[in-house]
Amino acid sequence: DQQVKQNSPSLSVQEGRISILNCDYTNSMFDYFLWYKKYPAEGPTFLISISSIKDKNEDGRFTVFLNKSAKHLSLHIVPSQPGDSAVYFCAAKYTNAGKSTFGDGTTLTVKP
Amino acid sequence: GAGVSQSPRYKVTKRGQDVALRCDPISGHVSLYWYRQALGQGPEFLTYFNYEAQQDKSGLPNDRFSAERPEGSISTLTIQRTEQRDSAMYRCASSAADNEQFFGPGTRLTVL
């Protein structure tokens, strides 16, 4: 059973609009969450993270929201740009433990 | 500075052969991780090291898979007696602080 789920395989938005990518997890012991972005033929690159002691973390155009009671997190990109087109992976882990558990990714396409 | 490098980038082998995949982490990174990624899925944890010590090998699918990091830097993932189901992208990542991971470009393994 998948402990981290990204239920939308793909998302298409218009340039300048908001992109919202969603992620659900089942293991309530996870206490650190990360988003990675992946371009074709490259490895995933870290984008933004959030600890379970917070409910929001913002970095420029990227904001991650965490709802612990719902075991749900989301990544907001505002405004979306064509260069944001990539696969976005949600990951969850225990703080200070090595392995991350990844979702299957959402492919974001931002249309000019 | 240099990122995580992996070699070879592509490996085609015949069923039953052994393969060795190499990962060169970012200099100074304490932790090194191995993941396997099937097409359309997220990275799946295999094993990880702190320095030369293998901390968790719970993701290795069976005893044909092994990994080492003898001097706390370069790591090798070895698959013995390869099978067609071993075909996948194998990704290495390293980290300094134990949360954010830096991924290499991966080794695409094809077992014929």
Best of A100, A104, A106, A107 to substitute, by most chain B Cβ atoms within 10 angstroms, is A100
Closest by CA position to A42, among listed B86, B27, B91: B91
Query: A1: exposed, middle or buried (C-beta count within 10 Å: 0-12, 13-18, 19+)?
Result: exposed
Tell me if A102 and B56 make a contact (CB, 8 A cut-off).
no
pLDDT the model gives residue A95: 83
Instruction: Using pLDDT thresholds of 50, 70 and 90, give the confidence band for residue A1.
Output: confident
Tell me if A99 and B59 make a contact (CB, 8 A cut-off).
yes
Q: What is the pLDDT of residues A21-71, one digit of tens each?
A: 999 999 999 999 999 999 998 999 999 999 999 999 999 999 999 999 999
B7: contact with A, CB 8 A cutoff: no
CA distance B92 to chain A (A): 9
CA distance B81 to B86: 10
Q: What is the pLDDT of residues B28-69, one digit of tens each?
A: 999 999 999 999 999 999 999 999 999 999 999 999 999 999
CA distance B82 to B75: 19
Q: In the β-sheet with A62-67, what is the strand arrangement from edge to edge?
A: A4-5, A19-25, A72-77, A62-67, A56-59
CA distance B53 to A40: 32
Give the burial string for A37-56 (b: 16+ CB within 10 Å, else e): bbeeeebbebbbbbebeeee
B44: contact with A, CB 8 A cutoff: yes
CA distance A100 to A91: 6
pLDDT the model gives residue B99: 77
Q: Is B53 helix (H, G, I), strand (E, B) or coil?
A: strand
Residue A65 to residues A13, A17, A53, A72: CA-CA distances in angstroms?
A: 20, 18, 12, 8
B42 → closest Cβ in A49, A98, A104: A104
Tell me if B99 and A32 make a contact (CB, 8 A cut-off).
yes
